C-alpha cells in the first residue's frame, strides 16, 4: 500500500511537469504567432507584395542628334527582333531548324541560343536575331503556325540616316562592356547600347535619358501574369551640333577619295561648321554588328577610314608653321617687318647646308615677302636669331602642341619641341640646325588639322584664344542649357604683329607671285588670306639634289609630301578659318589650296543666303 502511494505521487508529479511543459510550448507558440501575425503584420504583407509584384526598368528613347539646321544625324528606329520561348516549343532544335529555312542563322547564333536556353528559365524569351528587315518579319509571320514558340518583338535601335557623312564626329553606340559601367541601372538591361565614340560617347549620359518603370504581377516561379502600372522614362536630350551637314557633304565630296581632313570654324565663337575626314565609314554597321570581312577591310585600309584625321591625325605642319616663327621673332625683337634677309637658295650653318624649296633662291625678302613666297631661308635666319624655346612658347599660345579642348574624344596633342622636351624625351641636347628645321614646320613638329584651324582662327580674330566645340548648347549631365557668349582669353600677342602676319597671308593668296595666288577667290567680298604648306615625309639626299629632285607624282603614294593650306575669310571682316590637310597629296598650293578655296566659297555663299533670309527658313 505504501509503495502504491509513492508510485501515484511520482506519476502525478511527472504528469504535472509534462502538462507544464506542454503549456509553456503552447504559450510560446501563441506568443510567436501573435508577434508574426499582429505585431509584424505590415512587414510581412509588404514582403508578400514584393514577391508578387516585380518592378522592372524600362529603357528610355535615346536623344536624337541634329545639325545646326535641324537635319537629323542620329535617330531611333524600330528594331524588329525574333524571339523564342523554349517551353512553348516541342523541341528547341526543331524550331531553330525550321526558322533557319526562313532567315539566316549562323552556327554562332545557334550555339548562343542553346547556351542561353540552358542558363535561363524555360519561359523567358531568348533573342534569336535583331535588326530584321520587314521582308524577314513578314516571312516569319506567314509561317507562324509552323513555328511554335517563335514571336516578333519591336524595340528601338540607333540609326544614322546620313551613313558615312559625319561618322567620325557622331561616333556610334554598342553593347555595354565592363569598362563602360558607371553604376547606372540602365546599363544592366539586355540590349542596352552606350556611346562608344564621338559625341555619342562624350554626351552619352545626356543622350541616354532616365529610365521608366513597369510594375508587373508574377507568380511563385517568376512568370509574368499581368502589368499593374507603367511609368515611361525621360527621353535623352535633343543634341544640336554646330555642324552644317550641307557644307559637310560638300567638303567630303571635294576631298574625294583622298586620305584627308578639313576643318572650318567660326573664329569668334569656336563653332565647328565642318569637320570632315576621308575616307569614312558607316556607323550603322557597328550597331548591327560588323562581319569579319568588313572589319578586316576597315582595319587594313592604308587610308585609315576609322581614324578621325581632323583631331587624331598628326602631321608636320610644313610652311603653315612659318606664321608662328614670324610672330615669335617679332615679339622677341629678333626682326622687324622691314628688315630683309637675302635668300640665295640655301643657308650654311656650320658644315651643314639647309636648302630653300626654290633652288635659285628668292633674293632679298622682308617679312611679308617671306610669307608670300614661303621663303625657307628667311625663316631659317629669323629662327636662328630667336631660338626654339621662344618659338615653342608662341606656338602653344596659338593652340599647337596642346589639346584644343574640343568636346570630342581621342584628340591628340601634337608636338611642339623645345630644349627641355628633347632632354626629357630623348636624353639628348638640342642642336642649332634643329631650330631651323622645326621653324619651317618639319623635324619633330607635329600638329592636327584642328589645331591648325584653331591657330588660324586666333591669328584672324585678333589673338583671342577661341576654343573649338561641336555642341551648340552647354551640356551638363542630362540637361542642355543655352551656351552663353564666350569670353576668350588673349594669346598675348601685339596687334601690330598679328596685322603684319595677316598682311603676309593676304599676299600669299591675292598678290601675283604668292604661293596660293592661283587658288585665290576672285568674288568681291569673299577674298581669303592663307598660307600654303608642303611637308616632306622622306629625306632628300645630296645626290638627288644634284641630279634633280623627284616630283611627287613620280613617287609612291607613301613617299609623297603632305599638302596643307590654312586660311581665313572674308579678308576685310574675318568670320571663318579653314585648315585642309591631304595626306601624301603633294604640293599645298596645287592640291590643298584649291580644295580650301572651293569650300570657303560655299561657306560664304551659305552665310550670304542666311543673311538674305533665303536659307530655307533655317538659321545658323
Catalogue the active-site residues: 319
Pairwise CA distance, residues 34 & 57, whole Å = 38
Of the CA atoms within 13 Å of residue 127, those in its CB half-sphere come to 12
Burial letters 236-262, b for 16+ CB under 10 A, else e = bbebbbbbbbbbbbbbbebbeebbbbb
Distance CA 395, CA 499 (A): 17
**Taking the mean position of all CA atoms in its chain, how far away is CA 149?**
42
Report d(CA 258, CA 485) in Å as an integer: 37
Q: How many Cα atoms occupy the beta-carbon half-sphere of 511 within 13 Å?
A: 13
Give 266's DSSP letter. Answer: E
Query: Strand pairing of 126-129 and 150-159?
Result: unpaired
Cβ contact 241:471 at 8 Å: yes
Cα–Cα distance, 248 to 240 (Å, whole number): 15
Please identify which residue in the block is written with the cell numbers 596633342: 413
Q: What angle do CA 29, 34, 40 make, to 5 degrees?
A: 125
Set of cell numbers at residue 391: 618659338
How far apart, in whole angstroms, are the C-alpha atoms of residue 516 and residue 591? 10
- Please, are residues 406 and 272 in contact by the beta-carbon 8 Å criterion? yes
Q: How far apart are CA 485 and CA 2, in angstroms?
A: 115
Q: Which residue has the cell 567638303?
A: 251
Distance of CA 182 to the CA centre of its chain: 19
Task: Give φ, ψ of 350 to 5 degrees.
Answer: 65, -130
List 195's β-bridge partners, or say none. 173
Q: Which residues contact 424 (CB under 8 A, 6 or more apart)?
A: none
For helices 388-397 and 376-386, give the axis angle rounded to 10 degrees: 100
Length of the chain: 620
Structural contact between residues 229 and 214, judged by C-beta atoms closer than 8 angstroms: yes
- Taking the C-alpha atoms of residue 381 and residue 384, their distance in angstroms, rounded to an integer, is 5
Report the alpha-carbon distance of residue 252 to residue 286 in Å, rounded: 21
| DSSP code of residue 486 | P
Alpha helical stretches, state H, 53-147:
92-100, 107-119, 134-142
What is the grid cell recorded at 405? Answer: 579642348
Amino acid at each position: 500500500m505504501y509503495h502504491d502511494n509513492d508510485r501515484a505521487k511520482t506519476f502525478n508529479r511527472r504528469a504535472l511537469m509534462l502538462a507544464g511543459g506542454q503549456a509553456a510550448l503552447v504559450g510560446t507558440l501563441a506568443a510567436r504567432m501573435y508577434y508574426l501575425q499582429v505585431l509584424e503584420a505590415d512587414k510581412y504583407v509588404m514582403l508578400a507584395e514584393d514577391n508578387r509584384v516585380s518592378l522592372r526598368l524600362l529603357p528610355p528613347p535615346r536623344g536624337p542628334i541634329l545639325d545646326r539646321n535641324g537635319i537629323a544625324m542620329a535617330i531611333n528606329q524600330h528594331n524588329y527582333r525574333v524571339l523564342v520561348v523554349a517551353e512553348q516549343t516541342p523541341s528547341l532544335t526543331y524550331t531553330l531548324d525550321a526558322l533557319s529555312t526562313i532567315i539566316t542563322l549562323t552556327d554562332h547564333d545557334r550555339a548562343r541560343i542553346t547556351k542561353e536556353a540552358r542558363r535561363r528559365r524555360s519561359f523567358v524569351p531568348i533573342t534569336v536575331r535583331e535588326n530584321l528587315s520587314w521582308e524577314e518579319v513578314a516571312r516569319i509571320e506567314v509561317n507562324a503556325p509552323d513555328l511554335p514558340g517563335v514571336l516578333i518583338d519591336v524595340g528601338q535601335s540607333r540609326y544614322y540616316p546620313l551613313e558615312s557623312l559625319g561618322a567620325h564626329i557622331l561616333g556610334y553606340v554598342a553593347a555595354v562592356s565592363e569598362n563602360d559601367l558607371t553604376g547606372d541601372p540602365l546599363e544592366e538591361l539586355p540590349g542596352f547600347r552606350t556611346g562608344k565614340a564621338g559625341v555619342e560617347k562624350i554626351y552619352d549620359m545626356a543622350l541616354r535619358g532616365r529610365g521608366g518603370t513597369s510594375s508587373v504581377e508574377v507568380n511563385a516561379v517568376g512568370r509574368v501574369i499581368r502589368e499593374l502600372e507603367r511609368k515611361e522614362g525621360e527621353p535623352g536630350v535633343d543634341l544640336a551640333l554646330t555642324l552644317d551637314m550641307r557644307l559637310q557633304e560638300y567638303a567630303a565630296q571635294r576631298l574625294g577619295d583622298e586620305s584627308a581632313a578639313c576643318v572650318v570654324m567660326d573664329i569668334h565663337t569656336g563653332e565647328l561648321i565642318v569637320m570632315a575626314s576621308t575616307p569614312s565609314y558607316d556607323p550603322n554597321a557597328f550597331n548591327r554588328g560588323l562581319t569579319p570581312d568588313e572589319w578586316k577591310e576597315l582595319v587594313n585600309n592604308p587610308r585609315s577610314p576609322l581614324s578621325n584625321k581632323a583631331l587624331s591625325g598628326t602631321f608636320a605642319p610644313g610652311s603653315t608653321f612659318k606664321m608662328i616663327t614670324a610672330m615669335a621673332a617679332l615679339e622677341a625683337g629678333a626682326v622687324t617687318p622691314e628688315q630683309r634677309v637675302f635668300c640665295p637658295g640655301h643657308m650654311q650653318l656650320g658644315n651643314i647646308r639647309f636648302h630653300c624649296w626654290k633652288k635659285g633662291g628668292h633674293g632679298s625678302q622682308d617679312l611679308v615677302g617671306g610669307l608670300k613666297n614661303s621663303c625657307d631661308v628667311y625663316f631659317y635666319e629669323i629662327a636662328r636669331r630667336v631660338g626654339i624655346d621662344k618659338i615653342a612658347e608662341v606656338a602653344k599660345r596659338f593652340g599647337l602642341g596642346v589639346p584644343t579642348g574640343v568636346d570630342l574624344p581621342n584628340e591628340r596633342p601634337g608636338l611642339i619641341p623645345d630644349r627641355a622636351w628633347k632632354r626629357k624625351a630623348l636624353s639628348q641636347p638640342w642642336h642649332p640646325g634643329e631650330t631651323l628645321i622645326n621653324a619651317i614646320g618639319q623635324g619633330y613638329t607635329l600638329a592636327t588639322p584642328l589645331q591648325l584651324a584653331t591657330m588660324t582662327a586666333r591669328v584672324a580674330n585678333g589673338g583671342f584664344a577661341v576654343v573649338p566645340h561641336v555642341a551648340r548648347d552647354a551640356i551638363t549631365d542630362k540637361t542642355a542649357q543655352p551656351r552663353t557668349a564666350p569670353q576668350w582669353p588673349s594669346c598675348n600677342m601685339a596687334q601690330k604683329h598679328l596685322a603684319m602676319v595677316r598682311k603676309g597671308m593676304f599676299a600669299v593668296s591675292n598678290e601675283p607671285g604668292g604661293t596660293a595666288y592661283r587658288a585665290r577667290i576672285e568674288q568681291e567680298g569673299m577674298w581669303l588670306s592663307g598660307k600654303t604648306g608642303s611637308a616632306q615625309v622622306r629625306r632628300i639626299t645630296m645626290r638627288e639634289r644634284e641630279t634633280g629632285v623627284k616630283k611627287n607624282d613620280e613617287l609612291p603614294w607613301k613617299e609623297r609630301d603632305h599638302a596643307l593650306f590654312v586660311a581665313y575669310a572674308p579678308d576685310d571682316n574675318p568670320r571663318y578659318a579653314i585648315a585642309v590637310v591631304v595626306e601624301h597629296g603633294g604640293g599645298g598650293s596645287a592640291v590643298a589650296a584649291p580644295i580650301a578655296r572651293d569650300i570657303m566659297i560655299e561657306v560664304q555663299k551659305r552665310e550670304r543666303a542666311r543673311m538674305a533670309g533665303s536659307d530655307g527658313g533655317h538659321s545658323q
